Amino acid sequence: RKEVEQDPGPFNVPEGATVAFNCTYSNSASQSFFWYRQDCRKEPKLLMSVYSSGNEDGRFTAQLNRASQYISLLIRDSKLSDSATYLCVAKRGAGSYQLTFGKGTKLSVIP
Amino acid sequence: GAVVSQHPSRVICKSGTSVKIECRSLDFQATTMFWYRQFPKQSLMLMATSNEGSKATYEQGVEKDKFLINHASLTLSTLTVTSAHPEDSSFYICSAGGGESASYEQYFGPGTRLTVT
C-alpha cells in the first residue's frame, strides 16, 4: 500500500464549479500535511498547509482528519488557471525534512 | 523567499554517456539537499539526501554508483547520472533545506528534464 494515496483523476470541471480532492495516508507517524500544486513539466509549489482545524486561503479550503488519516482540498469557483496537478504531501516529524508525495490528482478547468 | 536553481533545465544525451545536473541555493545556505525523480504520471520519488561535506544517503533501490551526488558547498549539490540509459529519462528535481528559519522546509528547484536517446 502506498504511503500517500490520491485519486489520479483527471477531474474535468467547468469554470465556476466546486471540486474536491481526497487523499489518505497510511503512516501514522506523519505529523504535517500539505497540498502542492504542480504544473506540467514544472516543479511542485506549496499551495497550503493542512490542519485539523481546517484552513482556508481564498477559494481553497484544506482539512485534515487524523482519526481516519484523511486529507481533503476543496476549490470553489474554479478558474482556468487552477488547471494543474494537485499533490498531497505528508511530512514526518517537526524536526524532519522528509516529504512523501502522492501521485497527484489532475484537474482541468474547462471554459 | 528562498530560491533554488537547477542547470541545465533540459538535456538530451546519448546512451552510455554521463550527465551532470547542478542544484544551487541562491540566497541561503543549504545544509541539506535532496534529489527526486519523477516519471510521467508518477509521484516525486526521493532518490537521495545529501548533507554538505558528507556522503549522500540513498533511498532503497537507487544505485549510488550510477547516481553520483556531490554536496561540496553549502550552496551547490550536483547529481551525475553515469552511463545513462533510456530508462533513466525522467524529470529530476532538487530541493534544498536549511537557512536561518530552521523550519525544515524544502525549497524546490525548477527541475531538469533528461532524455537519453
pLDDT along chain A (111 residues), means of 10: 88 97 92 94 94 93 95 98 97 82 96 95
What are the angstrom distances between the C-alpha of B5 and each of A2, A21, A23, B78, B112? 30, 31, 30, 12, 10
Query: What's the confidence (pLDDT) of residue B102?
Result: 56
User: How many secondary structure helices (H) and strands (E) does chain B include?
Assistant: 0, 11
- What is A46-80 written as a DSSP string? EEEEE-TT-EEETTEEEEEETTTTEEEEEE-S--G
Candidate from B43, B106, B110 with C-beta closest to A97: B106
Closest chain A residue to B32, measured at CA: A97
Q: How far apart are CA A41 and CA B112, in angstroms?
A: 9
Query: What's the confidence (pLDDT) of residue B6?
Result: 97
Three-state secondary structure call for residue A1: coil
Q: Judge: A8–B43 Cβ closer than 8 Å, yes or no.
A: no
Q: Judge: A97–B49 Cβ closer than 8 Å, yes or no.
A: yes
Is B97 part of the contact surface with chain A (CB cutoff 8 Å)? yes
Q: How far apart are CA B19 and CA B25, in angstroms?
A: 20
Within 13 Å of residue A80, how many CA atoms lie on the same side as its CB?
2
Q: Hey, of B46, B49, B104, B107, which one would you mutate to test binding to chain A, going by the most A CBs within 10 A of its CB?
A: B104
Is B7 part of the contact surface with chain A (CB cutoff 8 Å)? no
User: Which residues of chain B, if any, have pLDDT below 70?
Assistant: 1, 99-103
Query: What's the confidence (pLDDT) of residue A18?
Result: 98
Q: How far apart are CA A64 and CA A72, in angstroms?
A: 7
User: pLDDT tens digit string along A20-46?
Assistant: 999 999 988 888 999 999 999 899 999
